[in-house]
A and B are shown apart, each in its own frame.
Chain A
């Protein structure tokens, strides 16, 4: 690894000031499960790495506040998967968090980091999208909230401004009942990067939300109605743009799997909605 300096700000203000000062010479370190790989392979060559894990506002926390569940920026996948609140209210996200890498990876990888990397294959992205997540960002200006669907721009690029950090992800507690499911395609049962990710949420009012990833430059969200599932799947397939050169799977297979997984996720979400009704 090329050498770099290490900074460990103790407050949010310090972190932002540092980011402003260093600009493109700095990289933010949260869980490190993506960053350290890139530091080692030379994809990133920062002059300084800013470790944000000592900032109190980012300390791992999942809490319900005014009808929202707030997941702080430092919360790791294991915390999300183990949280009774998350299991109860956002099971599809829990399912996704559970398959991000191995136990060792999940103990470090942050939910915020997963979305900030903006890999189209981010396992948690589809579930966050169907659960209508909002990204809370803090920077030199005011704190702002960006709907997740507006947060993803394309592979590796988000709407974060320079010197901005994600301090939390907020999920609205569903009003009414929700059935949700997560599905993905990998090359083996053991942990793997997905070649297709799909999440579905069906609201008892009849709205169906379908999000998919790994089939284009960013995860996509589509909304439809119960009864129009076939149309929703067709729209998803039409919007998908699988890479022709991916090592993980070929485009024809991926498009077919999008259809298969979407169907399975819809069935599972329906079943869970009916179960919730019981």
Chain B
């Protein structure tokens, strides 16, 4: 076991991890943060997307030890920091645009969308498609997800079509 320190969703944490456990394993199994999901385990589906040191990554391909001294943010951190019971505009937009069917891909989609909007304030639809290309949705909610991201960027508070 290797002791590591990290800032997780804003909180300093000191934990011990096995070298061969991924960040995904540790988040879900050791830290009880089950919002980040496990699916393909080869960095293709994006269900395990988290932010690590300011960049989104597939946490299934990051060894937990690599996060030592770093900063990790998961879907659980997206809600309004001043009021955790309030949804962020992005989360709200996902709901109002019908972007949530089974919901399993959604934490990853939200992390990718949130990251995109931090880098590009007003992404075009092709930019959104590309920014979210690493997040598979089998329910086929893509158009609604893209609409939600576009609406969030436009500052719309969830206009329904």
Contacts and interface: CB of A to CB of B under 8 A. Distances in A.
Touch between A and B in complex, CB under 8 Å? yes
Interface of A: 1-6, 8, 29, 32-33, 36-37, 39-40, 49, 51, 53, 78, 101-105, 107-108, 190-191
Contact of A104 (B18, B21, B56, B63): B56
A104 B20 contact: no
B57 A104 contact: yes
A36 B43 CA distance: 10
Nearest to B135: A102
B148 interface: no
Nearest to B60: A36
B133 A33 contact: no
Contact of A102 (B21, B46, B55): B46
B42 interface: yes
B4 to A, nearest CB: 10
Contacts of A103: 56, 112, 115-116, 130-131, 133-134
Main secondary structure of the interface of B (DSSP, over half): mixed
B49 A51 contact: no
Given A3-B20, A32-B61, A33-B61, A53 B66 contact: yes
A265 B57 CA distance: 31
Contacts of A5: 19
A75 to B, nearest CB: 13
* Pairs A-B, 10 closest by C-beta atoms: A102-B134, A6-B19, A107-B55, A1-B20, A36-B61, A104-B58, A104-B134, A3-B20, A190-B133, A6-B65
A29 B61 CA distance: 11
Contacts of B135: 102
B102 interface: no
Contacts of A2: 20
A23 to B, nearest CB: 19
Contacts of A53: 66
Contacts of B2: 6
B22 interface: yes
18 contacts: A1-B20, A1-B22, A2-B20, A3-B18, A3-B20, A6-B65, A29-B63, A36-B43, A37-B42, A51-B66, A53-B66, A102-B58, A103-B134, A104-B57, A104-B112, A104-B134, A108-B55, A191-B134
